[in-house]
Amino acid sequence: MITSHPRPLNLILLGPPGSGKGTQAQMLAERFFLYHLSGGDLFRKVIAQGDSKDPLVAEIKARYDQGIPQPDHIALELIEKEISRLHHKTGFVFDMFPSSLPQAIALERIVKVYDLRDPMAILIQVSEEETLVRLTKRKYCQFDERVYHPQDISYKKGRCETCGQVLITRSDDQPDVVRKRYGTYVQIIKVLSEFYKSQGRLLEINGEQSIVDVFRDILRALAPHL
Ligand SMILES: [Zn+2]
């Protein structure tokens, strides 16, 4: 039997804010030559580059600042645009997407339309307590969006390493917003993890270890599915 050239992997990173899923997504993108498609980055790009007088942009920003998830039609429109632009060249690592069951179901439809491989979901598990500790401590440069952690030298200096701007706590990293985000996350993740588990496409990973150890566990869990 002649087998066709294997299609690129598609991965979905699930986990609470601060679980390091963005970092893991980037590492996986590099390891498997995939495009890192971050829902959060797409929204931040719209907020930063869009016309602030545009009611749609203002709406996206208001939700973003309050830690409220974006509606499905907006998330899907932005994601599908990126997929249609890039699917001939690469597979994807989705990060902060899907963030609802309708989005997950729509993604199943989209992968069929573009003849992509079924996505494998990777759930990075981190408790609420640990999430609060991680997020309320991190600082951020408004100018170039770099994130700093307490162990970084620039964090102690309070200024961005690349541009020298004063570091601030991101509006969605304030403790009350973090608690709200985690509560929302728990509701969503229960539904999404059941969905991918029922498809036999969920890998559960302990996120409360070092970046390197989390990555090693992901690679081990992925190995039988490559
Ligand atoms: Zn900066």
Q: What is the pLDDT of residues 171-207, one digit of tens each?
A: 888 899 899 989 988 999 999 999 999 999 999 999 9
Q: Tell me which range, 8-22, 60-74, 172-186, 202-216, is most confidently predicted by mean pLDDT.
A: 202-216
Output the CA 11–ligand 1 centroid distance in Å: 30
11-131+174-225 belongs to CATH 3.40.50.300: yes
Output the CA 180–ligand 1 centroid distance in Å: 27
Ranges of each domain in the chain? 11-131+174-225
Q: How far apart are CA 159 and CA 171, in angstroms?
A: 17
Residue 156 burial (10 A CB sphere; 0-12, 13-18, 19+): exposed
For the entire predicted model, the pTM comes to: 0.83
Output the CA 80–ligand 1 centroid distance in Å: 30
Output the CA 172–ligand 1 centroid distance in Å: 18
